[in-house]
Structure 1
Amino acid sequence: MDLRKVIYKITYPNGKIYVGQDRTDSANYFGSAKSSQFLKDFSQAERDNFTVRKQVIWSSTTATNEELNRKEVELIIETGANDPKIGYNLKPKFKAV
């Protein structure tokens, strides 16, 4: 069986998103967004009872790691996950128009 590589979208209770990749399609991996960003957006009480949604938005069993990296950047930009008003991705750097 070929290993499936995925691009996922995490949606947090405030509606903000994080887009990331997982080269092992792990069901219990929820990304690597910076914790410091959440401290600004959620109170301690909110962090004590926290629900997120993880959606696979792209997958492949044949993509190279380079193709996966390109697709991740494409989907970060497409979803706006790098816009601080919309998401938690820090790269690629958001450029307001």
Structure 2
Amino acid sequence: MLRLTRAPNIAIAALWVDALRHAGIAASVQRYFLGSLAGELPPDQCQPEVWLTHHEEEPRARELLDNLQNVPQRRWLCACGETVEGGFEQCWQCGAMM
């Protein structure tokens, strides 16, 4: 087994592992319940970790996580002239749909 990364919280760790598994990469979350010990143990030792079952899947797994963490932002120009950024599909200025 190989530790791929630490996650900021258990929800993010679960999402990353789910995405890896969906891509056919065997992964699991370790340190699932240590968050409650933060304060008694150093906080960086209590973060959930994403582990791979097979070492040879590391390059593909790192690429997938990088793509998940660095999603390009959309930007489109509405007919009213307003530039709309992010995940919005409706213009905040006039209400028109993308």
TM-score, structure 2 as length reference: 0.29
Greater helix share, structure number: 2
Instruction: State the TM-score, normalizing by the size of structure 1.
Output: 0.29
* Structure possessing the higher relative contact order (Cα contacts under 8 Å, 6 or more residues apart): 1
